[in-house]
Amino acid sequence: MKSDNKISEAVVRRLPVYLRFLNDLQKREIPTVSSQELGQKLDLNPAQIRKDLAYFGDFGRKGIGYDVSYLIEKIRHILKLDQQINVALVGAGNLGHALSNYNAYLKDTMKITAVFDSFAPKVGQQIHSLTVQPMEELESTIRKQGIRIGIITVPDFEAQNVADILVASGIEAILNFAPVILKTPSYVRIHAADFTTDLQSLAYYLQDGREEIEDGKQ
Amino acid sequence: MKSDNKISEAVVRRLPVYLRFLNDLQKREIPTVSSQELGQKLDLNPAQIRKDLAYFGDFGRKGIGYDVSYLIEKIRHILKLDQQINVALVGAGNLGHALSNYNAYLKDTMKITAVFDSFAPKVGQQIHSLTVQPMEELESTIRKQGIRIGIITVPDFEAQNVADILVASGIEAILNFAPVILKTPSYVRIHAADFTTDLQSLAYYLQDGREEIEDGKQ
DNA sequence: TAGATTGTTAATCGATTAACAATC
DNA sequence: TAGATTGTTAATCGATTAACAATC
């Protein structure tokens, strides 16, 4: 076991992927898994997986592999998912609506417990079991519910403003779906989840020499 | 200018971010920008930006910086966004619905031109200007419209099957919102856009020592 | 000319992978 | 015991950053 000196973001981002697959194994009642199997299923190098896990402790058994249930417990603890983490969603448009559906997926770990929108007609609407609240209530609700993570699904021109409010309300991390670079104090963690840049970078990998569609529907 | 030997994915993923900001500058009629300014606004090292761009050509002018319009043109060409790229969306649920809204954002570059769903009652529904089609029409529509990129927004247990069909239909790249690792031939580019893993990795960065909410309600 | 800023080389830093002793 | 597989060190590979000559 190493001290938690500095775990790289790349490592941290793989942990949820491990967790997801382990949950799958558990559902299928598979008791044990090796780094080799994990690597094969997740398209990762087995040595990398062992190294990732070893940053946090000696979770495996030589000659055997990793106990699925035990490893799930450990990764959940590392990711702080062994306590409920409350999440606020800001922006009750189509995307916000879609994401609030994922409460089922996030199930026992995180939970979107509040939704906000600045557009008056949206306020008061029901999204599943939640009622859209006005921005004015954001800070008090965040503090009351102990919300620690915010999701931004407002239009680009509102995003920085919303981020500022979230930060002022004591939020510690933001998942940002708006296509802008947010400026926040360094103690606030930001992940960009912008779908348009994802899609545009994919275009780079398309095959060349197809400037025109050959069999265009003339 | 270097040969396009092997451009790393990290570089390719930054290009749309540059493009987005440059579009902004253009709208504000700012004619020129230096790597230093870009770096400041995008939280990147100026040397990295110069290096990224230099992989593809000598786009700047010493002592001056980069001409905004010219650089936009160049990056659009590199990303193949100077031709229209048609995109298919598979899965007309909430998330699919939300993403099809972004056609406005993607505007003149990419365009979602077809939506599919396997659930019979969904078929025939209108999503903006598109009609949801049954999966049976996927291959023929993809070929007819010259669609080259697919977006997967179906539930996790359907995702691999959908990916297989997309690949068989000649798709070249996939943006996958389902929380699974897709297995595809190596010539098909996959980007994972799974919101749950994003969110879970954020939890890692929360401050410790807050196992219980201090001022729990009541 | 003087000041600014590129493109690029060299230095640094960090992440991935290979290899293997330890051990179940 | 023999086979499997971990945890970890060392080797490799790749990406970022610093520095600077070239030049607008």
Q: Is the pLDDT of residue A41 over 90?
A: yes
Rg (CA), chain A: 21
Structural domain boundaries in chain A: 9-78, 85-197
**What residues of chain A, 38 to 77, have a C-beta less than 8 Å from chain B?**
41-43
Judged by a CB distance cut-off of 8 A, whether residue A167 touches chain B is no
Q: Is the pLDDT of residue A57 over 50?
A: yes
Mean pLDDT in residue range A80-89? 95
pLDDT band at A209 (very low <50, low <70, confident <90, very high): low
pLDDT at A14: 98
pLDDT at A120: 95
Specify the CATH superfamily of domain B85-199.
NAD(P)-binding Rossmann-like Domain (3.40.50.720)
Domain A85-197: assigned CATH number: 3.40.50.720
Q: Is the pLDDT of residue A47 over 80?
A: yes
pLDDT tens-digit readout, B21-72: 999 999 999 999 999 999 999 999 999 999 999 999 999 999 999 999 999 9
CATH of B9-78, one of 1.10.287.130, 1.10.10.10, 3.30.230.10, 3.10.450.30: 1.10.10.10
Mean pLDDT in residue range A133-137? 98
Contact B41 A175 (CB under 8 A): no
List the single residue in B with minimal CA-CA distance to A85.
Answer: B203
pLDDT at B6: 85
Q: Estimate in Å the CA A163 to C1' D16 gap, whole number.
A: 28
Q: Read off the DSSP letter of residue B192.
A: E
Mean pLDDT in residue range A24-45? 97
How many residues comprise chain B? 218
- Which of A94-98, A102-106, B88-92 bottoms out in mean pLDDT, i.e. has the lowest? A102-106
Facing residue for A12 by CB, picked from B16, B110, B201: B201
For C5, which residue's CA is nearest its C1'?
A: B63
For D16, which residue's CA is nearest its C1'?
A: B48
Mean pLDDT in residue range A14-33? 97
pLDDT at A5: 63
Mean pLDDT in residue range A202-211? 79
List the single residue in A with minimal CA-CA distance to B92.
Answer: A98
Average pLDDT, chain A: 92
pLDDT at B1: 42
Q: Is the pLDDT of residue A214 over 60?
A: no
pLDDT band at A43 (very low <50, low <70, confident <90, very high): very high
The long-range contacts involving A67-71, CB below 8 angstroms and separated by at least 24 positions, are: A67/A31, A67/A32, A68/A22, A68/A25, A68/A26, A68/A30, A68/A31, A68/A32, A68/A33, A69/A26, A69/A31, A71/A18, A71/A22, A71/A33
Judged by a CB distance cut-off of 8 A, whether residue B200 touches chain A is yes
Q: Classify burial at B132, counting beta carbons within 10 Å of its beta carbon; exposed 0-12, middle 13-18, buried 19 or more.
A: buried
pLDDT at A6: 85
Rounded CA separation B182/A44 (Å): 13
Residue A176 in marked binding region: no
Rounded CA separation B14/B211 (Å): 37
Mean pLDDT in residue range A187-209? 92
pLDDT band at A102 (very low <50, low <70, confident <90, very high): confident
pLDDT at B102: 83
Residues of chain A contacting residue B140, judged by C-beta atoms under 8 Å apart: none
Contact, A212 vs B84, CB < 8 A?
Answer: no
Q: Which residues of chain B have pLDDT under 70?
A: 1-5, 209-218
Q: In what order do the strands lie in the sheet with B149-152?
A: B126-127, B130-134, B110-117, B85-90, B149-152, B173-176, B189-192
Task: Give the nucleotide with minimal C1' distance to the Cα of A66.
Answer: D6
How many residues comprise chain A? 218
Residue A94 in marked binding region: yes
Q: Read off the DSSP letter of residue A136.
A: G
